[in-house]
Structure formats: structure tokens, C-alpha cells
Structure 1
Amino acid sequence: MTKISSLFVTRLYQAPLSEHGPKIDAEEMEASCFSIAQDDEAGQDWCEEQGYPGYTSYASLTDLPWRFPIFADLVKSLDAHVAAFATDLEFDLDGRALVLEDLWINILPEGGFHSAHIHPHSVISGTSYVSMPEGASALKLEDPRHAMMMAAPPRIKDAREEMRNFIYVSPAVGDVLLWESWLRHEVVMNQSEDERVSVSFNYKWE
């Protein structure tokens, strides 16, 4: 009898941030992100030097949860979501925890994008979505086997989701997405006239 199994599954976690931890006011979080961006001259300079579209605090601010209570509340929520995802992934953490390594703001204007990348020194990475105007860019996830497919023909247009080479996810404001840090991903071009605002983060095994 023929048997076809799905092996080596890649998991993607998506949930409302509000499912765990303190309530996060979306308007306050958005206002905080723009206020920080406006005051962060070092971050602005880095973005200009690197040709980075919009703004990120990735290279300038490493203590957002200490500076702003709303980011401390965000981390409490993220800790719970990451713990739930780690359980789903059936990690044996050997009594140690997955802890926040870094957390940063992204403000992506019209026409901005983030090219494909991974987060090689972390275990779980993710993003919480603060502002997603209509037409804002989706998150594009790449099949980790893609580079090894070589002579494989393309998939049919309406292939099942688990068979596709790329998956596009358009989260809602207040959602959190989590994935294993080796999963290659990118943010496609923002086609909205308004800015796309998110907070991204990495967790490490400590």
C-alpha cells in the first residue's frame, strides 16, 4: 500500500500578541516607535550610511525594554509566546531557558523592503506588527531546501501550501509571528503610501 509522509516540518507560529502577557495598547506602541525614531540620531545616521530604507533601531538602541515600560510589557508577552512555540517544537532545553537576545524597531516607508536573510546566532526569531496599512508588504518565507533543489521543476501555481517554495504571510496589527532563526525570510516592497511599523526580535538558548 502506497504511503507518502511529510518529513522535516518547518513550523510557523502566528497568534495575537494579546493571548499572553500584559495588554499592549497599539496606538501607544505606534506612537512610541515614531517618537524613538525621531530622537534616535545614531540610528538615523546608521540607516543613511547603510542605505537602509526608513528607520531601524537595530544598530543603535539595545535597551528598549529598559527605557520604555511598553517595551518591557511587550517582552513579557513575547517570553510567553516563545515558550509556547518552543514546546510545540519539542525542544529539549535541558533546564535552560530561551531568553531575549535583542529587540528592535522597523519603520518601512513606501517602496522600502528588507532583502532575504537569516538570524544565524539565535534559536527563535520573530516580529510583532504595530502598523500594517492596506497594501503594506508581506513577510516572504523561503523553503530551506530551495538551494538544494537544483534540477527540480517548478511547482504548479495552486500547489498545496506545504509544497510551495515561497510562502507569503500578511499578518494583522497586534499579531506576533515566530519562526526558527535559520529560516530565510524577507520583507517584500511596501506598496502602501503609509509606513509599515514592526518590532523584531531574537531569542537565544542560555
Structure 2
Amino acid sequence: MADIRTLFVTPLYRARLNDHGPGVDADELEGSCYSIAEDDEAGQDWCEANGYPGYTSYASLTDLPWRFPIFANVVKALDAHVAAFAEHCQFDLGGRGLVLEDLWINILPEGGTHSSHIHPHSVVSGTTYVAMPDGASALKLEDPRLPMMMAAPTRVKGAREELKPFIYVAPEVGDVLLWESWLRHEVPMNQSEEDRISVSFNYRWE
């Protein structure tokens, strides 16, 4: 009998944000996201100038945990989740740790998308989900080997998850997803009439 192994695994971590840390109230976090978006004129201007649908604080605010205590609680929880993920990945950190590099809000309205991208200057990236109404888009993850598969046939319908070129993950409010930052990902069109709200982040090695 043939010995067939699955090599070069791409890990995806999924847990509840409040499994670690002091606890984060989902309604308070959603209200804080809207409050920040309303007051952040620099972020609004950046979104308009760059054709970004909805709102993101990525290019405007770098100190959310200092401004709002609830985001400090989010970071405390994320620190523990990222440490658990790093242990699972068996990273040799040489006595150093993974620390938060940046944290930002995403408010994606109906029809909004976030195109495929990676986070090349970080080790671990991820998102925690604040509002996911019915019809809100899942997270789309791409097989990192895809550019090398020039002559490969497509997979059969119903192929095993580890063989699919794209994986769609439908998170719930309060979930946190983590992946290695080189993994290409995107947010397809939000088909809900309500906003899809998330908080994304990067961790670097230092």
C-alpha cells in the first residue's frame, strides 16, 4: 500500500477571542468602532482618496489600545492567542517574542470588498470579528503554491479541504483567526445590507 503524506502544512488558527484575556463585550467593541470611524477625519479622507469602501483606520490611527481601554483588552487577549499559535507552529524565536505591530478597524458596507493581499513585514496576521450579519462575506484564503501550478488540472468538485486552491472561512462574531503573514487572503463582496466589522492586526518578531 502506498504511503501518502501531506507535507508543508499551512496552519489556520481559530478560537474565541474571550478564551484569553480580561473579556471583551461585543456590543461595546462595535460601538467603539463606529465612534472612532465617525471621528477619524484623516482615516475618512484616506479611504476616499484611495477608493477604499467603507472605513479603515489602517492609514490613520496607530494607538487604538491607548485611546480606548476596550482595545487594550483586545490586545491582551490577542497576545495570548498569538503565543499559543506560535507554539503550535514551533517557531524558534531565539528567546524573543512576537509583539503587536499594528491594529486597525475595518468597516465594510454592502458591496465592499478587500482585494487579495499579504502582510510581508510581519510573522503572524489575523482578524477578530465584531459584526458578521447574514450575507457578510467569508474570509478567502489562497493556497500559497498556486502560482507554481502552471500545468496542474483543477481539483474535482468536493475535493478534500487540504487539496482545494481556495478555502472560505465563515467566522462568527467573537472569533479570532490567525495565520502566517505570507498567506494570501481577501474579503469577497459583502452581500449583506449591514456592515461587516472586523479588527485586524499584525505581529512582528523582536
Aligned-pair CA distance for 1:157: 1.1
Please tell me whether residue 117 in structure 1 is matched to residue 96 in structure 2: no
Please tell me whether residue 15 in structure 1 is matched to residue 15 in structure 2: yes
Q: Which residue does 1:82 correspond to in 2?
A: 82
After superposition, the CA RMSD in angstroms is: 0.4
Q: What is the alpha-carbon distance in structure 2 between the residues aligned to residue 189 and residue 17 of structure 1?
A: 25
Q: Which residue does 2:37 correspond to in 1?
A: 37
Q: Which residue does 1:175 correspond to in 2?
A: 175
Please tell me whether residue 100 in structure 1 is matched to residue 100 in structure 2: yes
SS at match of 1:179: strand
Structure 2, unmatched stretches of 5+, are: none
TM alignment of 1:161-200, pairs within 5 A: 161-200=161-200
SS at match of 1:154: coil
SS at match of 1:102: strand
Q: What is the alpha-carbon distance in structure 2 between the residues aligned to residue 22 and residue 173 of structure 1?
A: 17
Q: What is the alpha-carbon distance in structure 2 between the residues aligned to residue 51 and residue 112 of structure 1?
A: 10
TM-score by length of structure 1 reads: 0.99
Letter in 2 for 1:175: D
Structure 1, unmatched stretches of 5+, are: none
SS at match of 2:125: strand
TM alignment of 1:122-141, pairs within 5 A: 122-141=122-141
Aligned-pair CA distance for 1:22: 1.1
TM-score by length of structure 2 reads: 0.99
SS at match of 1:34: helix
Letter in 2 for 1:67: R
Taking only the aligned residue pairs, the percentage that are identical comes to 77
- Give every structure 1 segment of 4 or more consecutive aligned residues whose post-TM-superposition deviation is greater than 3 Å: none
Letter in 2 for 1:202: N
